[in-house]
């Protein structure tokens, strides 16, 4: 009886603390809250960002339905607007959205497993948000996918539940084989629910990791026109192993940038994070183009995944902004292969037709300096 009473008392105390905002119930959010004053200090010193201008990126599940629909409508708008690329050179680039996919394909070997991985994808995701706003009237901010929140059952998450406020659901369940990343998931076929059920994928595949294999692209570089449906193969196999709160905490505890990057990308870094949150997120979506290293941005959920990648980097940085912003680690080509050099903060990031400006990596390492002025809610 006394034991029961103390359990009830403890539960009440936790309830009260949650209510009072003292703990959020999530170790990552708690850490983010704790280090947030450091960011305010950085904003005070920023050349370009102010507290008034600061944009707050939110988790998809916390966004009101009307704003979710506005984000979805802006993405559909990008898919219906003309490309800014040369159609003769890139016949599979059919829309403004495809411009982003083509830019990613083009640079894939120099932006993954490299020193530019984090800053390149930060700028790329920001450029996408910027085009949603400037070319398609979006007034919100780039949402993110808090992996841990939905790691037990991503198909039931508001991101993938197939409702009209989701980014569409799983693919149709078809009989198919495992991939090299895990057993066959719960879908595998065409996405038939939600706002993107009628979307057509044109580019790629280049490095498909789905069964059955998608039709081959007419061109070996993947830029030919290869119209097909969006496929997904979501399950909780990877999310329940690699995308839990404790996995993110392990990542955020990385002592240096090299470790952080390796744990994130599952390069066998200290911490034993196995496949790493980056791959685990991509292969939780899976399918085609989601599981194709080159064409993955063609799945509309890519941007929420990379929003979260960027959020974890920013929380890692916020723990010690003096030591964790103006630094670089890694090479210039994937996993150091192909004669890559050491990456430098002075290397350029050029997003071609999807962003106006070429920046040096050093201008892209803070979320509150250079072109950026945003943070994540906590």
Ligand X SMILES: *[C@@H]1O[C@H](CO)[C@@H](O)[C@H](O)[C@H]1NC(C)=O
Burial class (CB in 10 A: 0-12, 13-18, 19+), 109: middle
Least spacing, CB of residue 101 vs ligand X, in Å: 9
301 part of the interface to ligand X, by CB under 6 A: no
Least spacing, CB of residue 132 vs ligand X, in Å: 19
138 part of the interface to ligand X, by CB under 6 A: no
The continuous run of DSSP H or E covering 2 comes out as helix 2-20
**What distances in angstroms separate CA 313 from CA 84, 363, 372, one per listed residue?**
31, 15, 14
Phi, psi of 68 (to 5 degrees): -60, -45
160 part of the interface to ligand X, by CB under 6 A: no
Q: Which of 38, 48, 106, 207 binds ligand X (CB under 6 A)?
A: 106
Least spacing, CB of residue 334 vs ligand X, in Å: 16
Q: Which of 67, 192, 211, 221 binds ligand X (CB under 6 A)?
A: 192
Q: Which of 39, 77, 101, 103 binds ligand X (CB under 6 A)?
A: 103
- Using CA atoms, how far apart are residues 373 and 301, in angstroms rounded to an integer? 23
352 part of the interface to ligand X, by CB under 6 A: yes
Q: Which of 197, 228, 241, 244 binds ligand X (CB under 6 A)?
A: 197
- Using CA atoms, how far apart are residues 99 and 56, in angstroms rounded to an integer? 26
H-state helical runs in 230-355: 239-242, 245-252, 257-264, 276-285, 302-318, 321-324
Piece of the chain touching ligand X by CB under 6 A; list 98-106, 214-222, 231-239, 246-254: 98-106
Least spacing, CB of residue 183 vs ligand X, in Å: 26
SS3 151: coil
Least spacing, CB of residue 290 vs ligand X, in Å: 18
User: Beta 348-349 vs 171-173: how paired, if at all?
Assistant: unpaired
102 part of the interface to ligand X, by CB under 6 A: yes
- Using CA atoms, how far apart are residues 354 and 84, in angstroms rounded to an integer? 9
- Using CA atoms, how far apart are residues 310 and 315, in angstroms rounded to an integer? 9
Binding mask 59-88 for ligand X (x = CB under 6 A): ------------------------------
198 part of the interface to ligand X, by CB under 6 A: yes
Least spacing, CB of residue 162 vs ligand X, in Å: 12
Piece of the chain touching ligand X by CB under 6 A; list 167-175, 191-199, 236-244, 271-279: 191-199
224 part of the interface to ligand X, by CB under 6 A: no
Residue 60 near residue 300 (C-beta atoms within 8 A): no
Residue 277's closest CA among 330, 231, 241, 253? 241
Least spacing, CB of residue 367 vs ligand X, in Å: 25
Q: Which residues bind ligand X (CB under 6 A)?
A: 90, 102-103, 106, 192, 197-198, 352
């Amino acid at each position: 009886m006394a034991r029961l009473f103390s359990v009830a008392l403890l539960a009440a105390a936790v309830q009260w603390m949650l209510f009072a905002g003292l703990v959020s119930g999530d170790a990552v959010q708690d850490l983010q809250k704790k280090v947030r004053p450091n960011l305010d200090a950085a904003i005070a010193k920023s050349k370009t960002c102010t507290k008034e201008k600061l944009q707050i990126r939110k988790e998809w599940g916390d966004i009101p339905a009307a704003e979710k629909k506005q984000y979805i409508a802006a993405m559909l708008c990008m898919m219906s607007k003309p490309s800014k690329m040369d159609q003769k050179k890139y016949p599979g680039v059919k829309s403004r959205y495809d411009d982003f996919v083509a830019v990613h394909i083009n640079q894939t070997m120099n932006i993954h497993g490299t020193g530019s991985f984090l800053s390149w994808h930060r700028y790329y995701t920001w450029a996408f948000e910027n085009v949603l706003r400037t070319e398609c009237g979006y007034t919100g901010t780039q949402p993110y996918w808090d992996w841990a929140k939905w790691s037990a059952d991503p198909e039931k998450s508001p991101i993938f539940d197939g409702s009209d406020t989701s980014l569409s659901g799983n693919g149709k369940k078809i009989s198919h084989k495992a991939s090299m990343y895990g057993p066959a998931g719960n879908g595998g076929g065409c996405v038939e629910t939600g706002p993107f059920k009628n979307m057509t994928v044109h580019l790629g595949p280049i490095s498909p990791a789905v069964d059955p294999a998608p039709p081959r692209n007419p061109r070996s570089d993947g830029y030919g026109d290869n119209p097909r449906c969006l496929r997904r193969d979501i399950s909780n196999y990877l999310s329940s192993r690699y995308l839990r709160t404790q996995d993110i905490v392990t990542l955020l505890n990385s002592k240096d940038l090299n470790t952080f990057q390796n744990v994130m990308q599952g390069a066998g870094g200290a911490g034993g994070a196995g496949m790493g949150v980056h791959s685990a997120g991509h292969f939780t979506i899976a399918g085609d183009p989601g599981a194709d290293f080159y064409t993955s941005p063609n799945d509309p959920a890519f941007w929420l995944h990379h929003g979260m990648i960027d959020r974890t980097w920013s929380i890692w940085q916020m723990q010690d902004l003096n030591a964790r912003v103006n630094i670089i680690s890694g090479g210039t080509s994937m996993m150091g292969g192909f004669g890559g050099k050491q990456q430098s903060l002075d290397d350029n990031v050029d997003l071609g037709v999807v962003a106006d400006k070429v920046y040096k990596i050093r201008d892209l390492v803070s979320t509150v300096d250079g072109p950026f002025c945003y943070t994540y809610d906590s």
